[in-house]
Amino acid sequence: MYILGIETSCDETSAAILENKKIISNIIYSQIEKHRIFGGVVPEIAAREHLDKLQFVVDESLKKANLSLNDIDVISATYGPGLAGSLIVGLSYAKSLAFALNKKFIGVNHLEAHLLSPFLEYDNIKFPFIGLVVSGGHTNLYLAQEFGKYKLIGSTRDDAAGEAFDKVAKMLNLPYPGGPSISNEAIKGDAKKIVFPQAYMKDESFDFSFSGIKTSVLYFLQKNKVKIKNGEITVSDIAAAFQKATIRAIVNKIRRIYKKYRIKNIAITGGVAANSYLKEEIKRLAEERNLNVFIPSPILCTDNGAMIAYAGYEYAKHNKYSELDLDIIPDLKL
Ligand code: KG4
Ligand code: ZN
C-alpha cells in the first residue's frame, strides 16, 4: 500500500509517501525564513505560503519515490489542530485529489500523528506506552493503550513548552524558532549561574505550567541589566539555566508518571523532543529506571508529512476512512 501524507497545519508545508510503514519520501518546505522577521508565525503568510508551495512539495515527494499519483492508494492530510487558513489549504488539496483520482481519503489528527510517529523508526515500540507530545502548540501526556485509544493524563495549564522556548528566545533577542536557538546558545553557557524555579504544579496532577518560568526570566533580565551588560552573566548562561529548568520539569514529570503507572515504554514526540539536553536527561532516567524511551529523529519530531502518512496507514489498516465532506477543526483535541 502506498500512502501520501500531507501536512500544512502550521509553518511547514510537507508531503511524504510511505510504502506501508516505510518512508520512501518525506519532503518538507519550512517557512521559517518567511516568518522570522516577525518573531513568530504569521497565519496569513503561512496560508499563502502553503498555497504557493504545496503542489511543488507533492510533486517532489512523488519524484523522489519514483511514483505517479495513480500509484497512490490512500491520501491522508491533517484536518486539525492548527491554523485555520493553513489547514484549509492542505485538506482541500488532499480531498480534491482523492475525489479526482477516486482514491481513499483519511483526515488525520495532528496530535495523534505526533504521538504515533516513533512507530516510523522503532520496530520495538509497543502499546501500552506513555506518550508525551511536546511542541509549539501542545504539551500533552497520554496513556496510549492501543491504536485509537488514548487517555489524556496531563497537559499544560498555560503555555506549551515550545511556546515558552519561543517567548524566552524573543526576550533574549535570539532568532525564531526559539527551541533550536536557545539550545545552541545553552551549549556555551553555564546553567549553574542562575537557578530558575522549576515548573512544578502544587497539586499532585500531571499538568504542566511554563508561564511562571517565563516570567522569572523576564524579572531576571530586568533586575540584572548591569551584570548582563558587563558580561558577568551572558545570554548563553540564561539560555542554559532556562533550558535546564524547563527540561527538568518535563523529565521529572515523566519520572512521577512512571512511579504511578509503571509503564516502561515512553515515547516523546513533537518539536521540543528534538532538544538534545532533553535526550541526555531522559537517557539518564531510562538507565536509572530501566525504561524504554522512544524519541524520533529530529526531522520526524518537528512537523512532517511522514507522520501524517503513518497515521493514515494505521487507519487504512483498520479500514477506517474519512468522508470527503470532512472539514478542518482548528482546535481539534485528542
Ligand atoms: O511539532 P512542531 O514542529 O510544531 C507544532 O506542532 O507546534 O514544534 C515546533 C516547536 C517550536 O516551539 C520550537 O521552538 C520547538 O518545537 N523546538 C525545540 C527544538 N526544536 C524545535 N524546542 C527545544 N529544543 C529544540 N531543539
Ligand atoms: Zn506539530
Short-list 140, 157, 78, CA closest to 269? 140
Short-list 134, 155, 146, CA closest to 269? 134
Mean pLDDT of the chain, nearest integer:
96
Choice from 134, 176, 272, 307 to test ligand 1 binding pocket (greatest atom count within 8 A of CB): 272
Q: How far apart are CA 126 and CA 143, in angstroms?
A: 12
CA 245 to chain centre: 20
* Closest atom, ligand 1, to C-alpha of 163: 12
* Closest atom, ligand 1, to C-alpha of 161: 12
* Closest atom, ligand 1, to C-alpha of 165: 14
List C-alpha distances in Å: 151 to 93, 142, 334. Answer: 31, 5, 8
CA atoms within 13 A on the CB side of 282: 25
Looking at 34-38, 62-66, 297-301, which range is the least confident one? 34-38
* pLDDT per position as a tens digit, 186-226: 999 999 999 998 766 666 789 999 999 999 999 999 999 99
pLDDT score at 19: 98
DSSP letter assigned to residue 156: B
Q: Ligand 2 center to residue 190 CA distance, Å?
A: 30
* Closest atom, ligand 1, to C-alpha of 138: 7
DSSP letter assigned to residue 208: B
Q: Summarize the confidence of residues 34-43 as an average pLDDT.
A: 93
Q: Ligand 1 center to residue 35 CA distance, Å?
A: 15
pLDDT score at 167: 96
Choice from 30, 138, 155, 302 to test ligand 1 binding pocket (greatest atom count within 8 A of CB): 302
pLDDT score at 199: 60
Q: Name the residue at shortest CA distance from atom 21 of ligand 1.
A: 271
* Closest atom, ligand 1, to C-alpha of 277: 24
Q: How far apart are CA 148 and CA 306, in angstroms?
A: 18
Walk me through the domains of the chain, giving residue ranges and CATH numbers.
2-115+300-317 (3.30.420.40), 126-295 (3.30.420.40)
Tell me the DSSP string of 21-41. Answer: TEEEEEEEEE-HHHHHTTTS-
* pTM for the full predicted model: 0.96
Q: Name the residue at shortest CA distance from atom 19 of ligand 1.
A: 179
Short-list 40, 152, 114, CA closest to 304? 114
* pLDDT per position as a tens digit, 67-86: 999 999 999 999 999 999 99
Q: How far apart are CA 131 and CA 143, in angstroms?
A: 6
User: In this prediction, what percent of the chain has a pLDDT beyond 70?
Assistant: 99
pLDDT score at 205: 85
Q: Summarize the confidence of residues 276-305 as an average pLDDT.
A: 97
Cα-Cα-Cα-Cα torsion 137, 142, 144, 150, nearest 10 degrees, comes to -80
Q: Ligand 2 center to residue 113 CA distance, Å?
A: 9
Q: Name the residue at shortest CA distance from atom 13 of ligand 1.
A: 179
Q: Ligand 1 center to residue 161 CA distance, Å?
A: 8
* pLDDT per position as a tens digit, 219-257: 999 999 999 999 999 999 999 999 999 999 999 999 999
The residues placing their C-beta within 5 Å of ligand 2, an ion, are 135, 303
Between residues 199 and 137, the one the model is more confident about: 137
Q: How far apart are CA 86 and CA 6, in angstroms?
A: 12
Task: Provide residues with CB under 6 Å of ligand 1.
Answer: 10, 135-137, 162-163, 165-166, 177-180, 183, 270-272, 274-275, 302-303
Short-list 315, 333, 317, CA closest to 77? 315
Q: What are phi and psi of 25, to 5 degrees?
A: -160, 150
Hey, is 84 helix, strand or coil? helix
Q: Ligand 1 center to residue 69 CA distance, Å?
A: 31
Q: Which residues 6+ apart lie within 8 Å of 287 measured at CB?
A: none
Q: How far apart are CA 86 and CA 12, in angstroms?
A: 10
Residue 209 near residue 201, CB atoms below 8 Å: yes
Q: How far apart are CA 155 and CA 217, in angstroms?
A: 22
